[in-house]
């Protein structure tokens, strides 16, 4: 059984949902994957049920409408628009933080859940993870996951440690 097949089973259709999402996004201009799935493209992967997406902000309303038409439940939150297919465990989160718009310019094509899709550059992923890790409004467990992602990146790409907070680098130096 492939990793994609396992994920499809464990997520109750997450790979199929991701494929449908990719079909929609590819019709609406620039977009890219950020967050944990993006990190997994550059370092040893860890399991996540979230897919974090940046789209051209001018396209978000049209994407939202198309996802609803395809059966996704869409909810709006303070910092994101979330979509999820009923019964699926895959949580799709569109960031509405305008700082992420710059990530669209230099995304790289990588394989994510069996699809070749644009993924934020590693430097931009670090930038986004630092923003998320520093956000006191995020749950501690989410910030700790961001910290772990930064540590995983710092271990494999020591040249990127200069982009990371001092406390992360201190942990890396101790290991």
Q: Between β-strands 91-95 and 108-112, what pairing exists: parallel, antiparallel or unpaired? A: unpaired
- In this predicted structure, the answer to whether residue 59 has a pLDDT above a threshold of 90 is yes
CA distance 55 to 83: 14
Q: Between β-strands 115-119 and 91-95, what pairing exists: parallel, antiparallel or unpaired? A: unpaired
Question: What pTM did the predictor assign?
Answer: 0.93
CA distance 147 to 130: 8
> Three-state DSSP class for 106?
helix
- In this predicted structure, the answer to whether residue 44 has a pLDDT above a threshold of 80 is yes
Q: What proportion of the chain, given as a percentage, has pLDDT over 90?
A: 89
Residue keyed to tokens 């449908």: 20
Given strand 80-85, what is the order of strands in its sheet? 72-76, 80-85, 91-95, 50-55, 31-34, 115-119, 108-112
Which tens digit of pLDDT belongs to each residue from 84-124?
A: 999 999 999 999 999 999 999 999 999 999 999 999 999 99
């Amino acid at each position: 059984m492939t990793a994609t097949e396992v994920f499809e089973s464990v997520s109750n259709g997450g790979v199929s949902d991701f494929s449908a999402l990719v079909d929609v996004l590819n019709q609406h201009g620039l977009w890219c994957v950020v967050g944990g799935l993006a990190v997994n493209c550059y370092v040893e992967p860890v399991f996540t049920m979230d897919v974090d997406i940046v789209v051209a902000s001018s396209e978000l309303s049209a994407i939202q409408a198309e996802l609803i038409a395809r059966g996704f439940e869409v909810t709006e939150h303070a910092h994101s628009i979330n979509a999820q297919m009923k019964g699926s465990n895959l949580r799709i989160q569109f960031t509405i933080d305008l700082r992420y718009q710059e990530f669209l310019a230099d995304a790289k094509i990588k394989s994510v859940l069996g699809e070749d899709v644009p993924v934020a550059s590693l430097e931009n992923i670090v930038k986004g993870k630092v923003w998320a890790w520093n956000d006191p409004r995020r749950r501690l467990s989410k910030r700790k996951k961001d910290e772990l992602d930064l540590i995983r990146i710092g271990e494999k790409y020591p040249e990127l440690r200069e982009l990371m907070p001092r406390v992360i680098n201190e942990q890396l130096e101790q290991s």
